[in-house]
Structure 1
Amino acid sequence: MFNLFSNNRKETVPEWVAGLEETQQRWFAFLEKLEARMEELCTAAIPELKEMLAADEDTYQRTFYKIQSGINGQMQHIRRKAYDTYEEKVINARYAVRDGSLTGMGSDYLTGFTQACSDRYHRDFESKFNYWQGQLDQAAVKDYEAEYRRILSDFEQTKNSFACSQCGSPLTIDRIFFISTYITCPACKTQNTFEPGTSARSLQHIARSLAEQRTRHLLAAYEAENELERELYQANHELKLSLIFEKDRTVTAGKEQQIRANEIRRQEAISNAPRMYKAYLRAMYDEWNNITPDLKEHNEKMYLRHIASNHFPS
């Protein structure tokens, strides 16, 4: 570990430094154990979650989500332990030192301790937590394309196996039905009730998710534009604050130019984001309609309500 308390100046090392050094070492070691626990938990859980999700025939995946919730609960417990320990050990140790009159080496020691422990937690530990949580979230994303292919395969294998209940003539099933439907016999005109199988019925439950999966790149582009607007706003806020005490005119001019450029791009993002989201919605509903054309009228009404609720121009 890098020793933040090393110093070549000939000053007396404050007595409390040894205690902070020990606290820092213990804190780093504690976080390493928590990180190892997260890695162990996730590397064991992720393959099982993927396998379970792929094999789960429950439309609502209730058992899967119950297990996933338990794993997420363990992750949050680990995170909470890090937070509680940081408050109890690091923050308390830092405030136990009276720093109001600290100067020179003493002030450097305390600043180094505070920064090192904070970075190890807020930057390093949180980064690893977010990585593993992201991996768990990804494991919970069902492959709806694979599910759709299975439904199509089942349909191809069974669509020619139905006959009229009255005369026995073959019935033509020309598309996937997911609700009970009357099929007219072309020979005797008898109305036959066609009951779709479990696979076909599941289509209406996965159609929107499949459409969203197919258009995720458009949603991601919108989210990135939205995030860029927030980042540019924050960047300009910090630049403006830095100008308050800036005396170098060259530096000031450079920062003001950057502020103007940021604001131009930020306004573009503000204008672009609604259009990008509307384009995503249109593409997603189009995909949804292609997957379940029988629901198109209903879906279009939903689309119009969605547009209206977001106050998009027509």
Structure 2
Amino acid sequence: METTSSSSIPSEMKAWVYAEYGGADVLKLDSSISVPQVKDDQVLIKVVAAALNPVDAKRMLGFFKSTDSPLPTVPGYDVAGVVVKVGSQVKNFKEGDEVYGNINEKGLESMKQSGSLAEYTAVEEKLMALKPKNLSFAEAAGLPLAIETAYEGLERSGFSDGKSILVLGGAGGVGTLVIQLAKHVFGASRVAATCSTGKLELLKNLGADLAIDYTKENFEDLPEKFDVVFDAVGQCERAVKAAKEGGSVVAIIGAVTPPAFIFVVTSKGSILEKLNPFLESGKVKPVIDPKGPFSFSQTVEAFSYLETGRATGKVVVYPIP
């Protein structure tokens, strides 16, 4: 891959951008977007791969207007790429480093106007980590927001060694990682997860002891109850019924039924660093939807596919541009 030294960084770049809120059809490819300026605590990344998340689609629809950056917006939270310039206060990265991360520290506020679906993006050093050596850029790009959400949710729910967990939406971007982290990082005694018929085998391969076909059975009617239920699909009322007395239910989407709680992830490079050994050893694996990766020119199709809610694992855009 060609390296770009800071002296050869262009002033303009190709990026996907939207100037009004709406579905995937509001996205336009623009080849004259300004390359973002790098602040003292930031690195400029030559983007190699990016991944889409449900939050990208909701943001584009205008769900977070009140806290969003002004339009026009280059979307994209997840990035993997190469550092081509470092701000004056950056300590941990240098030009040429291969990195990955979720570029928006707070999921729904102060979001960057210039995201990862572009040739370059500027990101605070503390949000990034060195890319695991054994992963491709496309695989690494699919991890940050989802693995940070999985990890933070497990931590907040008080999950620990020897506990049992039920994951709702086990084949999705977050769910595939909750299963693996619960099993291989937190030491779950038992992992159950829901999915559709064709995905049962995948869940078992990721470490689920029990894969539940939601098209055939209702998880809340099972006699077995769980220490923690991680709801990644927005079925909180049912999720609460599957938890043990005194157990916890954590949700990342939808309406919340007490005692469940909902949270929005905070991006931290330190979490990625902590999980890198599990990724490099192959204990935790990224799952990329088999329809992808989508090329940069297919970004609109990638968004349309994400919106079907049928993706397995992550929808990744690669290579960029």
More relative contact order, 1 or 2 (CA 8 Å, 6+ apart)? 2
TM-score norm. by structure 1 comes to 0.21
Greater per-residue helix proportion: 1
Higher Cα Rg, which structure: 1
Greater per-residue strand proportion: 2
